[in-house]
Structure 1
């Protein structure tokens, strides 16, 4: 479980690094990744055209909300942790930051619960489980490609 959380956090931080590099490059890379993700998930779930027509608007709305939430909240966390701020942080400030982090995690959890309840009538429980696996597999592939480019 810890590995999944670390992988998710790492992917978020990597994506922020990529997106912070420049406006045009940022949008182009984001769109490339999104296109690859759509193709990968569609293939893995073997969506029918009817399922895909109903699935993608729900999933894209979830993905956009999740991205914005992470961008907004995680960006604030990173700013507070830059330049050795953790070492200067009081216990009271640390408690407040921790409460914010817990709140963000709770919001993400609620967002995921809503996604599942919205998708159940569209693709059913089995394909929702396959979706979770497809997302994890896609993130692993993305991370592997990033590591290969970096080396």
Structure 2
């Protein structure tokens, strides 16, 4: 019970530390990753045996997800922004839309694979809890980021 109270406080203070000027992006991402590992481990109540199996699967999932978003989707969205959707031909717009849909489908299939891989390890209820914990972490991260900017 104490850990549930301590973790949100740790998260808030740690996120404040990562937002300080002078740190490079890699350090910030490493801190965020460490906070996420701690948060998910606590929320899912992972045993050490479960952690040994969980983290390689989850890390591979996150790496593939990152590649899809940053290597496929980001350049497409940048190109669409540069041209402007109103200025491109219908043919070009359809091509970009198809490429974005393909990337979305890849992300969807990747998530399905994660669920399939995690069900035997965690069980369906904890897989749902994983989804919620990811969303909760992202909300806290975004909230902290907004607080620092505003």
TM-score (norm 1): 0.81
Displacement of 1:97: 0.6
What does the per-residue CA deviation read over 1:27-79, in whole Å, with 9 as the maximum and x for residues that have no partner?
11111111111111011001111111110000000001101110011221232
CA distance in 2, matches of 1:145, 1:89: 38
Provide the alpha-carbon RMSD of the alignment.
1.5
Greater mean deviation of Cα atoms: 84-93 or 35-44: 84-93
Partner of 1:92: 91
Aligned length: 129
Partner of 1:74: 73
More helix by share: 1
Runs (4 or more) in structure 1 with deviation over 3 Å come to: none
The 5 Å alignment of 1:23-102 reads 25-102=24-101
Greater mean deviation of Cα atoms: 127-136 or 25-34: 25-34
CA distance in 1, matches of 2:112, 2:87: 37
CA distance in 1, matches of 2:108, 2:77: 21
Question: Between Structure 1 and Structure 2, whose CA radius of gyration is higher?
Answer: 2
CA distance in 1, matches of 2:55, 2:80: 36
CA distance in 1, matches of 2:73, 2:98: 13
What 5-or-longer segments of structure 1 have no aligned partner? 1-23
